[in-house]
C-alpha cells in the first residue's frame, strides 16, 4: 500500500479539482458535466441551434434556428480527438451532423492518453449524403463508423471553411477559438 500511497494522494487531489470544475460546468450549462451535454450547450450558442427539451431524443439534438439551414435537424458530437470515426444511428438520422473534435490523431490505443476538451476542428455532414457515400464504399454504419479522410475534409467548417453549407462569421470563429 505504501508503494501506491503518494499516487493515490495525487489522484484524490486531482479528482477533487475535477469535481469542482465539473460542478462549475454543470452550474453554467444547467446539465451534468458530460462532454455531450457541454457540446450541445456550446453548439447551441455558437451555431444558433434550438435544443430539444429532452437530452435523450433519438437522432437529433435540435434544429438550426436561422440561416440557410433553418429548421434542419442536427445531431451534435464532440470528440476529444479527430480519429476519423463518427457514431451514426442509421435508424434515426438527423438532417446534419455537427461534429466538433480536438486535435487529429490516429485510432490507436488510449492507454496513457487523454481526450482533451478542446475544439480544434468543426465539421458539418449532410447525413443523407454521408450515408450514400458510406454505403457506396460498403462501410459498416453504426457506432465508430469509419469515415474516409476526404469526407472529413469536405465537411470542414473550422478552422478552414471547406463546406459552404454553413458559413462561419468572424464572431463564431472567435467563439470557437476560446475552446482551442
Q: Which residues contact 155 (CB under 8 A, 6 or more apart)?
A: 99, 123, 124, 125, 162, 163
Question: Most confidently modeled of 1-10, 104-113, 149-158?
Answer: 149-158
For residues 43 and 35, the answer to whether their CB atoms sit within 8 Å is no
pLDDT digits 0-9 by tens, 58-101: 789 999 999 999 999 999 999 999 999 999 999 999 999 999 99
Query: What sign results for the dihedral spanned by CA atoms 101, 77, 96, 27?
Result: negative
How many residues does the structure list for the chain?
180
Task: Report the mean per-residue pLDDT for the chain.
Answer: 93
Q: What is the model's pLDDT at position 55? A: 63
pLDDT digits 0-9 by tens, 119-129: 999 999 999 99
Work out the pLDDT band at 166, boundaries 50, 70, 90.
very high
Could you tell me where the DSSP H helices lie in 30-141? 35-47, 127-137
**Percent residues over pLDDT 70 in the chain:** 93
Q: Using CA atoms, how far apart are residues 67 and 65, in angstroms rounded to an integer?
A: 7
Measured between alpha carbons, how far is residue 93 from residues 12, 100, 144 in Å? 41, 18, 15
Cell of 17: 479539482
Cell of 123: 465539421
Cell of 147: 469515415
pTM score, whole prediction: 0.92
Amino acid at each position: 500500500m505504501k508503494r501506491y500511497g503518494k499516487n493515490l494522494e495525487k489522484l484524490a487531489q486531482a479528482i477533487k479539482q475535477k469535481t469542482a470544475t465539473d460542478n462549475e460546468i454543470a452550474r453554467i450549462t444547467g446539465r451534468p458535466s458530460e462532454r455531450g451535454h457541454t457540446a450541445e450547450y456550446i453548439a447551441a450558442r455558437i451555431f444558433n441551434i434550438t435544443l430539444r427539451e429532452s437530452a435523450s431524443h433519438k437522432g437529433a439534438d435540435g434544429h438550426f434556428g436561422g440561416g440557410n439551414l433553418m429548421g434542419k435537424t442536427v445531431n451534435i458530437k464532440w470528440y476529444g480527438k479527430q480519429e476519423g470515426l463518427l457514431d451514426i444511428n442509421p435508424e434515426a438520422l438527423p438532417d446534419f451532423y455537427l461534429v466538433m473534435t480536438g486535435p487529429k490523431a490516429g485510432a490507436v490505443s488510449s492507454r496513457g492518453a487523454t481526450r482533451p476538451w478542446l475544439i480544434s476542428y468543426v465539421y458539418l455532414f449532410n447525413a443523407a449524403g454521408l450515408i450514400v457515400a458510406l454505403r457506396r464504399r460498403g462501410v459498416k454504419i453504426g457506432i465508430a463508423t469509419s469515415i474516409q479522410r476526404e469526407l472529413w475534409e469536405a465537411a470542414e467548417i473550422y478552422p478552414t471553411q471547406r463546406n459552404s453549407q454553413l458559413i462561419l462569421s468572424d464572431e463564431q470563429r472567435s467563439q470557437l477559438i476560446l475552446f482551442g
